Structure 1
């Protein structure tokens, strides 16, 4: 019978770019459960609607496991999952809440997570994130939850701070990483 689990000793070490991707996925995962609580605490409203933000959790959770099998797929998955999660949250809360600012983090991930020979993945994902942003601005209609203008101002402040924090973390996490080096296993990805 095939071994079901790979021990840490048997698993190959992740390359620096993929390790950075996995770290960001874990940071997002660890913060996601607190977001509905922040929304509820700060606005006193929308707890049920903000619980919808947890729907993306399994997709972020899949990224660290995907990284062991295909580093490139994991590095593609993080901005794709982040983009679709941001689109959904923008539909939940509306653009005025600032949730669409998370598209900036997705673009930054695309800019930093690929090697020179992965240029077409980078260009395609950049176009994808931007297209989804445009759809979020002009094509998704009214938000699923109606917020007061005071609550929207609070959410905009919360999301602006959260996005700035995430962007700073992404920049620090990727600082000094070699983007042109690759492991032989990456060539097969």
Structure 2
């Protein structure tokens, strides 16, 4: 059993691996999000309500997150762009499913942050465009979703909002730690050491 789990973990690591650290980061984030999606209905059931009908529709975005490493192998920029765009799409879907009272739109923040971090300065236009989409979605759609598929009472919406705020905050913190590690690794590289000596 342990050997099977180890083999599965190595397969996942191999799927996420990429020589470009920003692409590798996008792959790791995408697979993390996809691996957590099956637990969302359980969190909803335990913490909010036994009405989890709407949660099953969130799986429509799972294939897009799982596809990020595959797309990245063909085109690194396209793979990096797919991750925040899939996140924005999932957020829009969830806002329609649960209503804006669920605070699910807070996931637009990590989507924008991820877009800004994944692209290099020379690719700033792509980063800003995707971040603008995240911001624009909130401005244009916030009051336009109509009645949600699942409606909850005030206490249940408060619990759902807490769940989404904690989840989005945790994702943002993970992304910050991931990129902090990348920066630390870059600072320890021979090129960076050479720059310090000559600077």
TM-score (norm 2): 0.80
Structure 1 residues 137 and 13, CA gap change in structure 2 (3 angstroms): closer
Computed over aligned residues only, the root mean square deviation of the Cα atoms, in angstroms, reads 1.9
Aligned partners of 2:118 and 2:51: how far apart in 1? 34
Aligned length: 170
TM-score (norm 1): 0.84
Offset at 1:130? 1.0
1:48 corresponding residue in structure 2: 53
Work out which of the residue numbers 11, 28, 34 in structure 2 matches 1:23: 28
More helix by share: 2
1:59 corresponding residue in structure 2: 64
Aligned partners of 2:79 and 2:147: how far apart in 1? 32
Larger Rg: 2
Post-superposition CA distance 1:32-51 (Å, at most 9, x none): 00001110121233211111
Task: Mark the runs of 5 or more structure 1 residues left unpaired by the alignment.
Answer: 1-7, 182-189
2:145 corresponding residue in structure 1: 140
Work out which of the residue numbers 166, 170, 173 in structure 2 matches 1:168: 173
Structure 2 residue 160 is matched with structure 1 residue 177: no
1:119 corresponding residue in structure 2: 124
- Larger relative CO (CA 8 A, sep 6+): 1 or 2? 1
Offset at 1:176? 4.8
Aligned partners of 1:28 and 1:164: how far apart in 2? 13
Mapped contact 1:43–1:151 kept (Cα < 8 A): yes
Aligned partners of 1:69 and 1:128: how far apart in 2? 24
Post-superposition CA distance 1:92-143 (Å, at most 9, x none): 1111111100000101101111001101101211211111122331222221
SS at match of 2:145: coil
Mapped contact 2:113–2:131 kept (Cα < 8 A): no
SS at match of 1:175: helix
Structure 1 runs of 4+ aligned residues shifted over 2 Å read 43-46
Mapped contact 1:90–1:136 kept (Cα < 8 A): no
Mapped contact 1:101–1:160 kept (Cα < 8 A): yes
Aligned partners of 1:124 and 1:162: how far apart in 2? 25
Mapped contact 2:99–2:148 kept (Cα < 8 A): yes
Aligned partners of 2:181 and 2:120: how far apart in 1? 14
